[in-house]
A = this chain, B = another copy of it.
């Protein structure tokens, strides 16, 4: 029995999710190597490349389940693709419009002042800072 697999199984149980074969596989890919930003499509491809059999629908289901359980966070950065971020703490992003690359910016680095009081009855959920960059054309 693989140790990483066992650990993932526990992590899913702790989050109240049934540790199915597919969720364990996807979890290992997502959380196995530091912070990641993935689209459903990309995760599906990675799973396939790793020899795991997981349908695209299940990848979507799983990512939604992980999001609901707080293991992962949805990012809105590109209008035609949902990204999921395995870093669930507060932080910001560099987004390279040329190639779609995303890079974390630790929350402590950026100081934001002067955010006005939200409209009557609204409460601030999150403050997202996206630094859009373009790499020079080669």
Contact = CB atoms under 8 A, between A and B. Distances in A.
B110 A105 contact: no
Q: Contact size class for A?
A: 35 or more
A125 B112 contact: no
A114 interface: yes
Contact of A125 (B81, B123, B124, B132): B132
Interface stretch (A13-21, A23-31, A45-53, A71-79): A71-79
B136 A132 contact: no
A114 to B, nearest CB: 5
Given A79-B79, A111-B113, A114-B110, A121 B105 contact: no
A113 B113 CA distance: 8
Contacts of A96: 119, 122
Nearest to A106: B116
A126 interface: yes
Nearest to A103: B119
Contacts of A97: 125
Given A94-B122, A127-B129, 8 more contacts: A79-B82, A96-B119, A97-B125, A103-B119, A122-B134, A123-B136, A124-B133, A125-B133
